[in-house]
């Protein structure tokens, strides 16, 4: 081979242009694979959250228990006095609702569910149940000596209190002259 031809085939850093094109294609395909995996994970989280919310909406037992909890919350504002009789029907309803929220909070914490979707649709419900049941949970924790009881709900509520939902903006994205 002619020495001038050898110099032309050697590209950058002593490698041929073919090597760099192949390496670039490999790096781009790896980056694309990582992006696809990431976006599929986000989509799966959103789908799981929507499926959970549909299941909660169709679960008749949970709906009845939630109705009892709302009635108790509107009547008494707190459930702390109900902790004295943990075997009552009201306590059973409260525990079922709290267990449902505990499951959701754990799923959000472990990134199995999409927090934004659930927060936008259930913020007021979760906060109302927490405010009414906070004293109840503390009483049950001390009575049963279980300091971690419903800690995931407590974590979620503390997180949401630091960053509550905001008002929905009705401004179109291209209408920059209007304020939110």
Dihedral pair phi/psi, residue 86, rounded to 5°: -70, -10
Which of 40, 52, 62 is closest to 113 using CA atoms?
Answer: 52
Region of residue 145 (left: phi > 0; alpha: psi -120 to 50; beta: else): left
Contact call for residues 151 and 140 (beta carbons, < 8 A) = no
Over the Cα atoms of the chain, what is R_g? 27
Quote the pTM value: 0.77
- C-alpha to C-alpha distance for 45 and 114, rounded to whole angstroms: 5
The pLDDT score that the predictor gives to residue 55 is 96
Q: Write the CA distances from 162 to 131, 157, 158, 159, integer angstroms.
A: 15, 9, 6, 5
Helix ranges (H only) for the chain are 3-9, 17-58, 60-76, 89-109, 115-144, 151-162
As averages over each run of 10 residues, the pLDDT of the chain (180 residues) reads 58 77 94 94 94 95 94 84 86 95 97 94 94 92 94 97 81 64
């Amino acid at each position: 081979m002619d020495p001038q031809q050898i110099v032309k085939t050697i590209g950058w850093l002593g490698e041929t242009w073919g090597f760099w094109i192949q390496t670039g294609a490999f790096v781009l395909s790896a980056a694309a694979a990582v992006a696809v995996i990431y976006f599929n994970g986000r989509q799966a989280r959103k789908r799981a959250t929507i499926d959970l919310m549909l299941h909660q909406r169709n679960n008749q037992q949970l709906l009845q228990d939630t109705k009892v909890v709302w009635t108790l919350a509107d009547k008494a504002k707190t459930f702390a006095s109900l902790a004295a009789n943990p075997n009552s029907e009201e306590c059973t309803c409260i525990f079922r609702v709290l267990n449902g929220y505990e499951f959701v909070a754990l799923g959000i914490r472990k990134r199995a569910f999409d927090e934004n979707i659930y927060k936008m649709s259930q913020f007021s419900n979760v906060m109302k149940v927490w405010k009414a049941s906070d004293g109840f949970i503390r009483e049950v924790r001390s009575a049963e000596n279980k300091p971690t009881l419903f800690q995931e709900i407590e974590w979620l509520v503390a997180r949401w209190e630091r960053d509550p939902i905001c008002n929905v903006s009705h401004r179109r994205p291209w209408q920059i002259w209007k304020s939110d």
